[in-house]
Amino acid sequence: MADVKILGIPGSLRQASFNRFALRAAQSLLPPGASLDLFELEGIPPYNQDHDKQPPARVVELKARVRAADAVLFSTPEYNYSMPGVLKNAIDWASRPYGDSAWQGKPVAVMGASVGMLGSARAQYHLRQCFVFLNMHAVNQPEVLIANAAQRFNDKGELTDETSRDLVRKLLAELVAWTTRLGKR
């Protein structure tokens, strides 16, 4: 049977983003029968409803990549106790025009890394709140909260913390099982 195709979206544009590093780590922690490609939010302009029906090329690309994937995996930083604007902005674009959301019915999982002690927990809950209206089907457990991120990655951006690696591995296994259970591939 074909692989479960997961699209990983880092919620940060920063070159040395811990959240991108976490998704790169996830690429090496996949269960058999799954693949994980990344989509970068770089180049997505601020949302403008006037362009809903003729969105910019990067948004067209994002929607196509989401639609081609069996499941989505977000890795979000926490900015001021919520998700970064660039991530919410991309979610808004790909949800429109009304009735043509690329997120509709997609299995989804969330993880996040922050330099704070709560590992992006508050951002993740705001993101999960959006899933309700977007009608995305979220994996609940495990919660992957990579706190004090600077200590969990090495200088090369590799996730070295074994507890975090184990949680990411489990989350991926759950996402693949959930996607299969929902018959989404």
Question: In the complex, what is the shortest distance from the CB of residue 50 to ligand FMN, in angstroms, rounded to a whole number?
Answer: 28
> Could you please report the per-residue DSSP string of 50-100?
GGTTS--HHHHHHHHHHHH-SEEEEE---BTTB--HHHHHHHHHHT-STT-
Question: In the complex, what is the shortest distance from the CB of residue 157 to ligand FMN, in angstroms, rounded to a whole number?
Answer: 10
Residue with Cβ nearer ligand FMN (36 or 176): 36
Residue with Cβ nearer ligand FMN (17 or 164): 17
Residue with Cβ nearer ligand FMN (70 or 78): 78
For residues 161-180, one letter each, b for 16 or more C-beta atoms within 10 angstroms of the residue's C-beta and e for the rest, the string is beebbebbbbbbbbbbebbb
Residue with Cβ nearer ligand FMN (104 or 160): 160
Binding residues for ligand FMN, rule: CB under 6 A, are 12, 14, 17-19, 77-81, 113-116, 149
> What tokens appear for 144 in the block?
């992957």
Question: In the complex, what is the shortest distance from the CB of residue 18 to ligand FMN, in angstroms, rounded to a whole number?
Answer: 4
